[in-house]
Structure formats: structure tokens, C-alpha cells
Amino acid sequence: MRFLTGCLVAMVLAQPGQAQNFTTQAEVQPILEMTRAHWIGLSTQSGQDLLYFTHLMAYRCGLEAIYMGVNGNEPIIRVLMEPCHHELRTPNAIRVPPILGFTADALQSVSIRITFPDGQELREEFPRAAIRLD
């Protein structure tokens, strides 16, 4: 019986009609709350600090805006987001690399503020060491 129950659960979860597009606040907010440590990444290549927003951009369809601040400043700089591609099967597909370049070693900390369509916000402060990818 245990095997049968597992198969039924797997069948229900695999139904195409049950798929989520992660395009609403209700779908993306819990994920972003649980994955705060992965919102951004920092790489040092070609003599630059490269700040990656890939994780956040993957859920942008359920967001109102993303703001950032650097080196202790309030997150008031609005990060440009690629539009949500509702016409595609994968509306969150990233076509424009979500990377910002800075002078080498310029970023010592980055603060992020995410706003949702209903006005709720999530905030996080990242020291350089916490977001280093290399």
C-alpha cells in the first residue's frame, strides 16, 4: 500500500495542469524568503567586481521591484529587470544577463530590498565574503 500511495502522489505532482510558472507573488515570495543567501553573487573577473542577480531575476515575474545599496547605503537604486515573457512557455526565461560591473574590490557589502505587488518587502544585507562565487 505504501508503494501505491507514493505512485499516486507522484502522478498527481507530475500532472501538467498542476505546474506553476512562478509568476505571482504567492508563488515566489516563499521561495525568496527561504533562499535569501542566494539572492546575489559576486565574482571578480577581468579586474572587476561582477554582481550577479540571476537568482532574483529567475523570479522577477512575481516581483514589483528590486533595489540595491552598496557599502552600507540604503537600497534605493532600482535594479532594471527584464520584462516577464508571458508569451513564452517559460515566462521567467532570462535573455539579458543580469550582471552589474563595478571597479575591482569596490563592493564591500550589498543590501537588497525586494518589493512585491502588494507592497510587502524583503530585505537582506550581504557582506562581500558571503556572496563571493570564486
Is CATH 2.60.40 the classification given to domain 20-131? Answer: yes
| pLDDT score, position 21 | 82
Intervals of the chain under pLDDT 50: 1-18
| pLDDT score, position 31 | 97
| pLDDT score, position 18 | 44
Which whole-number Å values give the CA distances from 87 to 80, 90, 91, 92, 97, in the listed order?
A: 20, 8, 7, 11, 20
- Entry pTM: 0.83
| pLDDT score, position 17 | 44
| pLDDT score, position 19 | 52
Rg (CA), the chain: 18
What ranges do the domains of the chain cover?
Answer: 20-131
